[in-house]
Amino acid sequence: MTLRRYTKPAAFFGLPALALLVGITGWYSRPHAAPLPAAPEPTAETKRTTTVRPEQRTIRRTIEQPGQIEGFEQTPLFAKIAGYVAEWKHDIGDAVRKDDVLAVLSVPEIDEELRQKEAAVALADATITQTKRALAAAEANLNRSKALLESAKATQARAEANVTRWQADNARTERLLRSRGASEQDLEVSTDQLRTAEAALGEAKAGVQAAAAAVSAAEAQRDKAEADVQVAEAQRQVAEADRKHTAAVLGYATIKAPFDGVVTKRTVDVGQFVQPASGPGGAAPLFVVVRTNPVRIFVDTPEIDAPFVARGTPARIRVQALRDGEVTGAVTRSSWVLDNQTRTLRTQVDLPNDDQLLRPGMYASARITVERPGAWMIPASAVRSGDDHPYVVLREGGKDVRTPVKLGARQGDLVEVLQKQTKAKQDGYPAAWEPFTGGEEVVAEIRDR
């Protein structure tokens, strides 16, 4: 404050008043007087410096960010096929379980198509039954033909043995005839028997050939029957796949809840014609279902704290609608990548909601406590302000050296020191920096003895 000096005649104030004014004016003008003698500089014997070394501490920071509660899942349900709403079973606010039916669409043409496909499957089953019966008959016929072939082969073997016998008998009779031991009549009888045996062998061989041909025909018939069964089974698979496809399409006519939750939106009524959604401007969802247990809240963590936010980091959520009540939780996941615009980490906290007090859309404030161990800390009073950088005074070799530093987080009366300058910027070369090691002696204060 500056007092104005009045220059009115002394007669106006009177002599005593003038003397008082001059005294007051002289007291406020004391700063312009000669300075007092300076106090003597303390000597080395009366001055003491205190040094400290950086200590590694764990920095704890609390991140508090606003947000809102969201359902763990929120799914809009659309129509996959066109149809008329036959009935709806749940409205907004209804709690539903997974696969609960929300609505049923009427699609008569697909109903009829499904019946046709089911009939085709039934026909294929009948064809398979018929072809399998034919295959069984062909296999039985083949077995009979093989049995006949074996019998014919046995008959041929007996005929061959009989021919061999009569050949030997005929040769023996010829020898006896030359030695007068047998008559001409005996030789004729033996020769007739041999010819009869040879004829029987011929018939047996013909029987074997016929039986073999019958086996070949039976095998061909059996192979054809097997092929018919395979074709019928393949046709049945095609018919069944076609039926399943139609049944799957018709299944879209039943709108079901995708998970346990609450119906938050319903836009359909009985008789309404709905169509599949196509493109961003398509039809509105028929229902919206939200999972409300658990719920989640997202927090944007600043870049400086992002590396220390991990799964399990403690969090406390304050909810205004619950009279600022707090809910304890923990970080469950994060986006890992920082947002390019805000340079923040998207962090998610999941909260149990068994009592259903937390409702999606409520405002909330999240407080996440992060810890960063191993930070080099010194007293904040040891840091001075410089022109370009803050600095500390280091005791090196008995000398006090002014050293610019880079600082980190502050906690109470301590501050984190990140790096110290070892060489100043000069001649176009950048300054050199190195991290603190803990062995530095930092001048913290000066005291007189």
- Tens-digit pLDDT profile for residues 19-57: 323 333 333 332 333 332 333 444 444 445 688 999 999
Instruction: Supply the pLDDT for residue 239.
Output: 96
- Going by C-alpha positions, the residue among 117, 95, 89, 73 that lies closest to residue 254 is 89
Per residue in 81-115, pLDDT tens? 999 999 999 999 999 999 999 999 999 999 999 99
CA pair distance 12, 6, nearest whole angstrom:
11
Confidence of residue 279 (pLDDT cuts 50, 70, 90): low
Least-confidence region, from 88-92, 125-129, 253-257, 354-358: 354-358
Q: What's the CA gap between 151 and 173, in Å, rounded?
A: 33
pLDDT of residue 398: 86
Distance set, CA 200 to CA 82, 94, 193, 197, 226 (Å): 82, 95, 11, 5, 39
Question: Are 377 and 416 within 8 A, CB to CB?
Answer: yes
**50-55+376-448 shares its CATH topology with 110-251:** no
Q: Is-contact 413 55, C-beta < 8 A?
A: no
- Please tell me the pTM assigned to this model: 0.62
Residue 88: helix, strand or coil by DSSP? strand
Q: State residue 221 phi and psi, 5-degree precision.
A: -65, -40
pLDDT category of residue 229 using cuts at 50, 70 and 90: very high
pLDDT band of 9, cuts 50, 70, 90: very low
- The CATH number of the structural domain formed by 50-55+376-448 is 2.40.420.20
Residue in 289, 260, 299, 268 with CA at minimum distance from that of residue 360: 289
Helix (H, G, I), strand (E, B), or coil: what is residue 312? Answer: coil
What distances in angstroms separate CA 114 from CA 72, 232, 249, one per listed residue?
38, 21, 10
166, 197 in Cβ contact below 8 A?
A: yes
Domain boundaries, the chain: 50-55+376-448, 110-251
Kindly tell me if the per-residue pLDDT of 230 is higher than 80: yes
Lowest mean pLDDT among 18-22, 60-64, 189-193, 391-395: 18-22
Structure tokens at 426: 């000069």
Is residue 266 scored above 80 in pLDDT? yes
Domain 110-251 = CATH 1.10.357: no
DSSP 335-371: EEEEPTTT-EEEEEEEE--TT----TT-EEEEEEEEE
Query: Given its phi and psi angles, is residue 279 left (phi above 0), alpha (psi -120 to 50 degrees) or beta?
Result: left
d(CA 357, CA 352): 10
- Residue 357: closest CA among 329, 332, 326: 326
Rounded to 10 degrees, what is the CA torsion of 252, 281, 361, 364? 120
- At a CB cut-off of 8 Å and minimum separation 6, what does 4 contact? none
Residue 350, pLDDT > 90, answer yes
